[in-house]
Structure 1
Amino acid sequence: MEKTNQTLKRGYLICLFLALTIWSMATTSGSGPDEAMKYDICNYIASHGKLPDGTDPALRNPIWGISYGFTPILSYMISGVFLKIAFLFTTNAYWLYVAVRFTSVLSITGMAYLMFQIGEYLFQTNRSRFLFVMSGTLLPQVMYLGSYLNNDSFALFTIAWIIYAWLRGRDRHWDWKSCILLGTGIGLCALSYYNAYGYLLMSIPFFFISYWKERQIEGEGKRTDMHRMFRMAAVIAIVAILLAGWWFIRSAILYDGDFLGLRTTDKYGEMYAQPGFRPSERPTPYHQGWSWYQMLFTSGWLRTSLISFIGILRTCDWSLMGRGYLGIGILFLAGIIGYLAGGWKRKIFSSDRLLHITFLICMVIPCGLSIYYSFYSDYQPQGRYLMPMLIPFLYFVTTGLTLVLEKIPQKVNRMLYGGIYMFFILISAASFYYVHALI
């Protein structure tokens, strides 16, 4: 049975990789959000063999007055390597874009692999594990992120890495390998996307609380235990700093102490953006005197963000068919209700408060950042900004659906699981058809 499950997992990963590759090849060059600007970074790295300075006029967008060189670009660095290899064979723009998109293809495939590993810790049955993975990786927005050049897909991969390291570390009492694994995940995540930083923040309390809780249960000596705990914490920190620290030191040197690059981005936007596109001139809800309620509900921010979390594809100019939204929405809602109702009776939350609270906070942080950014900086109700909450959210959904489905007779239960699997496959295929029928 175990051999069959492993074969199914490998088969799924291969099929997902092929599907993402086909999607990336079928997408028009530069059609993803700001993809041409991101390609400029990869092209600079491949052509010059060095990292770009965000202030370089050659990278500056003539409309917005900025480049993507100010903030972490590890995924673009990897894409730059693929582009360098592609230059050996062709200068055709189509194939060059396919090359840089390969990082996104690998990132979502890698996320799927890690979600299977995470599922081993979180769920009792393979049916639930497959539901967890398929609902995440076949979500139209996730498939789309895996088909064009962006930081979001790499951020999802690093988030999955961190969550896996949390669960593995807790299970193995934070051995050396688990600590190195977490430090590596934190370092990679730090070089991905700022809206994923909630996982960096929550790694601190999760490590210390889970470590101390497990050691208290084992009854080890307090002094020895404290020494080892801080030694393992130092290992995590050192690995993370070695991987990511250089970037922030470099940014601080280049941009007068602005190690995040955000202040400099706004500065150059004010200096070089076309009239009407400068940060101070954007018609944000704050500048228009709106209330938070008006932005979230009256303007449709909340509705658009939730729908696009499922999948408003291509250059965000069209929506997936309504029945698909409805079906996914019903499944997600049923999962949450099932978790709240069944989980309360089964005391699932109280059985692992640390993980559940950590997951909830990791869901709240990207939502809060997206709301804050739209209100004060740039009104963008985009579901991809909420993507860092994906894995924790799907944990709650899958747990709830599992609690609901286990109450159904075994024969019907299998059919329903199979039906849900097929539904996500069809939704993914339909979204591919619709997006490329427009190109």
Structure 2
Amino acid sequence: MVKKIKASFSENKLFIHAALLLLGAILAWNIIGVLGQLRWWGSASLKDFDFPSSNLSISGYDVQNNRYTNTVGDANIEFGNIDGYVGNIRFVFAQPLEQEIEISIYYAESTHGYSEKNKVTQIVAAQSTEAIIEVGFNVTTCRADIGTTAGEIFYLDKIIVNDSSYKYLLVLKQLKNMIWEILLASVLVIAIRGIKIEKSIETGKWVVYLKDSDVEIAKKILLIFVLFVVYFNVAANLPIDMAPDEYMRDDVPFWMYEHNALPIGNEPELLNNVWGFSYAFMPYLPSIIAYMFMKMFSIVNASTEALQLAMRSVSIFSGLGCVFFSLKLGRYLFKNKLATYLLAISIGFLPQIVFLSGYLNNDIFSLMTCMAILYYLVSGRAEHWPIQKCVGLAVSISACLLTYYFAYGWIIISILFCIDSCLRDNSILDKKSFIIKRILLVAVIVFILAGWYFIRNAMIYDGDFLGIKASRECAEAYAAAGHDVYISVSPRDQGLDLSTILFPWFLSTFNSLIGVFGYMNIPMQQYMYYLYYSIILIGIISYAFWLIKCRRDKLLSISLIVTFICPIVFSLFQSYTMGYQAQGRYIISALPAIMIFMIQGYEGLFCFYHAHFKKYKSGITKLQDSNIEEPFFATSGYICLILVWIFAFIHVYISIIHGQLIP
């Protein structure tokens, strides 16, 4: 009993540290949130705008001193050129409102004009003397539509943009949110499986502790929670003009939200003025899920900001899904538990992954499906392909099919991997019958979950089940109708040789796989690329050495090599023949192979160092327990790598993501 209590106190200490880290993360998040929301304190404001005013243009109102009468229904007050961040707009009424009134703020950005998506609406109750509407965007201009019906009357004293007096309300609101977050986190911690509360026989005091297995669960939950805070903060604050193609991609879920139907690629509302096609031609499973999230969110809050955050939640949870499957994969790939955490951290805290987890895109969702496919492949092989693993693999393949063409190499490899692993499995007696049954099971599930999309495409687009040809023809028809459509001229059409673009293409692609933000216009500091490349390449070179020397798991190694090569070749071919696009997100499905090679390479290095140290141990140390040596070297090495990776991310997050990307 004494030994058990001592162990309990040790585990309890770790649990307290984890809880303190959780509390610190919540506090840090809210402090960042307050500072982020209040960054516009002291900004210039528009005050006392008695008509006429050089700052405002009033249309559709009959103005008599402070008395405003809506004469046309669609009346508005247009603000002048703002070209800056608008946190809130405060309307001060000279008299209490006689009736309930609707105020809508329309704002224009550099990439979007006035639209229903760029709108914030608030219903102001009768007898109100003021209204404060939160905007929270960088805008070029904006306008206020006060009232929607002709004949509505209100008395307006002044309008204040970025009212500094509102800061106190914001702080109180953030504090209230923080209290709820701490309470929720406390419930989450208490609910973690395996928390034990026992009374010590010796001391008579109550002791709280976790079992070893549940300490690991607590660590994983804490890691995922911290990453959720990071991803959510990016998603809640990232301007749409910093999110590549989101202004075009989010048209699809917003269209579904308004029409409650699946779109066709050439829907007039979806066609982009620049490209002449829409993303509804491409697989759009993330947009379908975003539509579902938007419908759920709209029950509580149907504002544009809430719907946009609901839409971006798909990417938040996709990023967390990548980390989740990384943690699940570790036991099948690595000997040391810390190697599992290194895989999860190297993917979850990679700057480009954090960026992709902050806005709607297919790339991060595609990566999650690749991680899921890999997990079900290695776990299915290890457990001799039970039914549940085959079902999980089928669901993952279906999601991959409905997301991204660049990741289809994983689907081909999964088929070959399954067949080869079954043929090598001595526990499977009737191999032919077993393989046929498992293939049929997976195929039927994939056909049910994903087949409908390709059948629908074939029916709509005259047999073009992928929609690629239909998309190109749509752009040509849009241009023929007199629209000014951008036509990309490929390097091949320019008469350039493939060798002339190889080096710049590889440099740009792999730099942006690590981290280039915005529209490929906000890179990290050059020395950060050197740091990331050094860590990754040392591991991969070591892996190549150990693969040749030890011939480790050839089936998995070959599979990962193919999944690494396929998206690179596909992206390079597309850049050369269709349009130069050297972006790392197009080869994001190669990331699992890169990170696994890197970590297994370091695993080999630590084993090599341990073996050579052992020869000279007697002259260096007096350690009696030889079992301490290998964990000591491996643990020290993994901890160093984890700390360097996290500190590198913190530096990028503070200096680039929060310093330049998020206003």
Alignment of 1:7-406 (within 5 A): 7-214=218-425, 217-218=426-427, 220=429, 224-273=430-479, 274-275=483-484, 277-278=486-487, 282-297=488-503, 300-345=504-549, 347=550, 350-406=551-607
Residue of structure 2 equivalent to 1:425: 646
Equivalent-residue separation in structure 2 for 1:25 and 1:82 (angstroms): 15
SS at 2:240 equivalent: coil
State the alpha-carbon separation in 1 of the partners of residues 330 and 526 from structure 2.
Answer: 30
Task: State the one-letter code of the partner of 2:372.
Answer: W
Question: Would you say the 8 A contact 1:168–1:178 is kept in 2?
Answer: yes
* Structure 2 SS opposite 1:57: coil
Give CA deviations for 1:374-408 in whole Å, capped at 9, x if unaligned: 00111010011111011111111100112223426
Using the TM superposition, give the Cα deviation of residue 4 of structure 1 relative to its aligned residue in structure 2, in angstroms.
2.1
1:430 positional shift: 2.9
Indicate conservation of the 8 Å contact 2:336/2:634, yes or no.
Answer: no
For each residue in 1:60-104, what CA deviation from the matched residue of structure 2 results, as whole angstroms up to 9, or x when unmatched? Answer: 001111100011111101111122233344454333221110000
Aligned letter for 1:426?
A: F
Question: Are residues 1:436 and 2:436 paired?
Answer: no
Structure 1 residue ranges without an equivalent (≥5): none
In 2 relative to 1, CA 414–213 (structure 1 residues): closer, same or farther, beyond 3 Å? closer
Q: Separation in 1 of the partners of 2:428 and 2:282?
A: 45
> 1 CA distance for matches of 2:569 and 2:539?
23
| In 1: Cα distance, 2:589 partner to 2:453 partner | 22
Q: Closer, same or farther in 2 for the Cα pair 1:229/1:190, shift >3 Å?
A: same
**For residues 431 and 533 of structure 2, what CA distance do their matches in structure 1 show?**
46
Amino acid at match of 1:377: M
Aligned length: 426
Residues in 2 aligned to 1:405 and 1:351: alpha-carbon distance in whole angstroms:
16
Stretch moving more, 332-341 or 405-414: 405-414
Give how far 1:426 is off: 2.4
8 A contact 1:314–1:435 mirrored in 2: no
Distance 1:435 1:259 in 2: 39
Q: CA deviation at 1:111?
A: 1.3
Using the alignment, how far apart are the partners of 1:48 and 1:364 within structure 2?
41
C-alpha displacement of 1:38: 1.1
Contact kept in structure 2, 1:30 and 1:97, CA below 8 Å: no
Once the two structures are overlaid, the 10-residue window that deviates more, 427-436 or 282-291, is: 427-436
Please say which of residues 8-17 and 103-112 is displaced more in the overlay. Answer: 8-17
Cα drift, residue 415 of structure 1: 4.0
State the AA in 1 paired with 2:230.
A
Letter in 1 for 2:653: F
Aligned-pair distance for 1:120? 1.1
| Structure 2 letter corresponding to 1:314 | G
- Give the deviation of 1:412 after TM superposition: 6.1
- The C-alpha deviation readout for 1:172-201, integer Å capped at 9, x for no partner, is 111111111111111111111110111111
User: What residue identity is the alignment partner of 1:53?
Assistant: I
Shift of 1:306: 1.1
The one-letter amino acid paired with 2:647 is L
- Higher alpha-carbon Rg: 2
Say whether the 8 Å CA contact 1:27–1:436 is kept in structure 2: no
Percent sequence identity over aligned pairs: 29
State the TM-score, normalized to the length of structure 2. Answer: 0.62
TM-score of the pair, normalised by structure 1: 0.93
Amino acid at match of 2:292: V
1:413 Cα deviation after fit: 5.0
Structure with bigger RCO (C-alpha 8 Å, 6+ apart):
1
For 2:456, give the aligned amino acid. Answer: R
Which is further off, 22-31 or 144-153?
22-31
Q: Match of 2:410, as an amino acid?
A: Y
Q: Residue 58 of structure 1: SS of its match in structure 2?
A: coil
5+ residue gaps, structure 2, are 1-211, 614-628
Opposite residue 25 of structure 1, the aligned amino acid is A
Amino acid at match of 2:580: Y
Q: Is the 8 A contact 1:5 1:126 kept in 2?
A: no
Contact between 1:55 and 1:67, CA under 8 Å: does it hold in 2?
Answer: yes
| C-alpha distance in 2 between matches for 1:245 and 1:276 | 33
